[in-house]
Each structure stands twice: as C-alpha cells, then as structure tokens.
A and B are shown apart, each in its own frame.
Chain A
Amino acid sequence: MLLFFIRHGQTTANVKDQLYGQLEYPLTSLGRQQAQALQPLLEKFCFDRVYTSDLTRAVETAKLAIPGCAPIQTPLVREFDIGSIAPITRGDFNRLYPQVGGDFRPFGGEDIPAVAQRLRSFLAMLENDPVERVAVFSHSGTLKCMVRLVLGMDIHAARLQNHNCNVAVFRHTAEGWQLAAWNLAGQL
C-alpha cells in the first residue's frame, strides 16, 4: 500500500509564522492555489481512499486537490493540540518556551507519544483495509510524527523541509512502513 500523507495549504496563521495547534484558521488564496496545483499529480494515482484531518484547512485542501472526492474526516490525523498557548508566533514560542520540545501537556495539549498513539491507530485501520493507494490530508506536526514513527528517530527541522502541500509517500510492506517519497510535487 502507498500512503500519500499531504500537508494542507498555506493558512492565514502560516503567513504570520504562528504555531496554532488545533485552532481553526482558513486557507489563504495562495493556500488554495497550492492545493489546486496538486491536482495533476494526484489524479494520476486514483486513490482507493481519501482521508483528511477534520480541521477545516485540511478538509478544504483535500477537496481542492482531489475535486469530487468525499474525504473521510478523522480526528486521528489532526495537528498536535498545543493547548492554551495557541496561537503564538514561532519567535515568541522559541523565546518563551525553549524547553518544551514536543511536550505541550503543561498547556493542556498533547505530547509526542499521544500523537504517535493516534497515528498508530490510524495506520492500524489502514493496515486492515486491503487497498493499494490511500491519501490523507493532515498537518506538519502530524507528518513529522509519522516520519518519527517510521524512521524511529527525530530529524532536526532545519534538515528536513516541510512546506505547505508537501506530499510525502509511505509504503507498507511485509517488513513494515518505509519512507518512499518526500515533497513529491515540489520544484519539478
């Protein structure tokens, strides 16, 4: 099975370089363009299933990127809940909370194991569904958590670019999940 794990398009909060967790912010017009620009790539793959995080930015990206699909909405692939500090600019976050890492529990949010657990539930659901090609529209933190699950290690954010409408591809084999592609639609 190939799992296309796709980050939503640019939101109004992305423009301000904010961390905003599960707060709802709409796509900008650039974000909608980015989603539409995925159409020619994604229509070649004829997905058996299309899932999306139930946050609006992901649902909208899904409907623009794969017109006519009725994506299955699931909270399992929502962004990290970062709790009461949302929204916060990245600069303020780095300055005020340098020790947080991925652990937002002090703010009533989630930590990495919690997000990993719901991702595992999502993957278990897919593994029990014998189809070939699945797309899921989700978020940057969730996607990085997926990478962590598959590779078993943290990758420094500065070394792995994770843009809006990044299309990452994971491949499920008898030996487990592999990273098959990153930023499939980018710059080519």
Chain B
Amino acid sequence: MLLYLIRHGQAQSNATRHYAGQQDSPLTELGREQALALRPLLAGLRFDRVYCSDLCRAGVTRELALPGVEVTETPALREYEMGSLQGRYAPDVRKHYDLSNLDYSAFGGEDRTKVKSRLRPFLEEVEQSGCECVAAFCHGGILKTMLTLVLGDELPLGRLYNGNCNIAVYEYKDGQWSLHSWNAGCLAQTLPLTREEGL
C-alpha cells in the first residue's frame, strides 16, 4: 500500500514568514499555482481514499490538486498547534529558540509526542483499510513527524528541505513502513523552491 502525504501550497503565512500553526491562512497565488501543478502528477493515480486536514490551506490545495473526489476531513492531520507562537514572525523567534525538533510545548502548543499520538490512530486506520493507494493532504509538521516515525526520532529535521506541495510517498508492506519518495511534487515541476517556514 502506498500513502501519499501532500503538504499544502504556499500559504500567506509561509510567504510573510509567520507561524500559522492551527490558525488558518489562505494560499498565495504561488501556492495555488503549486497546487494546480500537482494535478497532472496526481491525475494518473487511483486513490482508494483521500484524507485532508480540516484547515483550509490543505483543503484548497486538495480542491486544486485533486478535484472531484470524495474526501474525509480530519483534525488528526492538522498542523502542530503552536500556541502563543501563532502569528509571530519566524526569523525573530528563531533568534532565540531552536524549534527544529518540533517542540512547541513551551508556547502552550504541541510537541512531537502529542502529534504522534494523534497520528497513530490515523495510520492504523490506513493500515487496516485494505486500500492500495491513499492520499492525505496536510502540513509540514505532519510530513516531518511521519518521516521521524519511519526513519527514526534522531533524524535531524533541520537537514531536510520540506517545501510547499511536497509529496512524500510511504509504502506499507509486511507490517512495516518505508520511505519511497520525498518531495516528489513541486520539485518535479521545477517551480521555485519556497522557503521553509516555522519548522
């Protein structure tokens, strides 16, 4: 079984370099372009199920990238709750804090343990679904967390590029997950690499 985790297109918060967390932020023009650029890549695939974070930047990305499908919205796929960081300018925050390990608990937000605990039931549902091909439109923090679940907690997340409309493909076989592809999305379309925000 293949699971396609797809990060939303560039949101305004990404462009202005503010933390959004679970606050919503609409896609920019570039973000919409990135989402549309996914359409021919995804059109050839037959997804048995399509999930989507219930935040609108993921939902709009899905509408543009994979229109006309039945979708299951779930808060399990939401970005990290980032507490008092939400709305703050990332470069200023980064002068004082290293958030590459995804721990927002000091700001009243979630840490990796919390997010893993909401991801696990989602993954179990996918594992037991009997599906062959599943898509999940979500967020950078979810993509990175899934990567650590599969490759190991000590993975240095600061050494990974995680662009908007990143498509990460995971294979579930014989009870085990492995990474099949990373960033097989926008980069394949040679759109400009967007700056990483907040993560």
Instruction: Give the B-binding residues of A (Cβ under 8 A).
Output: 41, 44-45, 150-153, 155, 158-161, 169, 171, 175-188
Contacts and interface: CB of A to CB of B under 8 A. Distances in A.
Given A178-B161, A180-B161, A188-B41, A153 B178 contact: no
Interface in B160-175: 160-161, 163, 167, 169, 171
A161 B159 contact: no
Interface string B42-80: 101100000000000000000000000000000000000
A159 to B, nearest CB: 5
Contacts of A41: 188
A7 B142 CA distance: 29
Enumerate the 5 nearest inter-chain pairs by beta-carbon distance, A residue then B residue, closest first: A181-B183, A180-B161, A183-B181, A182-B182, A188-B41
Contacts of A183: 169, 180-182, 184
Given A151-B156, A159-B178, A179-B161, A184 B2 contact: no
B151 A186 contact: no
Contacts of A160: 151, 178-179
Given A178-B159, A182-B182, A183-B182, A188 B188 contact: yes
Given A152-B156, A152-B159, A187 B180 contact: yes
Interface in B54-111: none
A30 B176 CA distance: 28
Main secondary structure of the interface of B (DSSP, over half): mixed
Contacts of B30: none
A155 B151 contact: yes
A187 B156 contact: no
A187 B190 CA distance: 17
Contacts of B2: 187
A41 B190 CA distance: 9
B153 to A, nearest CB: 11
Contact of A153 (B41, B150, B156): B156
Given A159-B150, A159-B178, A184 B184 contact: yes
B169 A184 contact: no
B190 A179 contact: no
A181 to B, nearest CB: 4
A161 B180 contact: yes
B130 interface: no
Nearest to B45: A188
Given A152-B159, A187-B2, A187-B169, A179 B154 contact: no
A160 B169 CA distance: 11
Given A159-B150, A161-B171, A187-B2, A151 B182 contact: no
Contact of A184 (B42, B160, B188): B188
B134 to A, nearest CB: 14
A182 B183 contact: yes
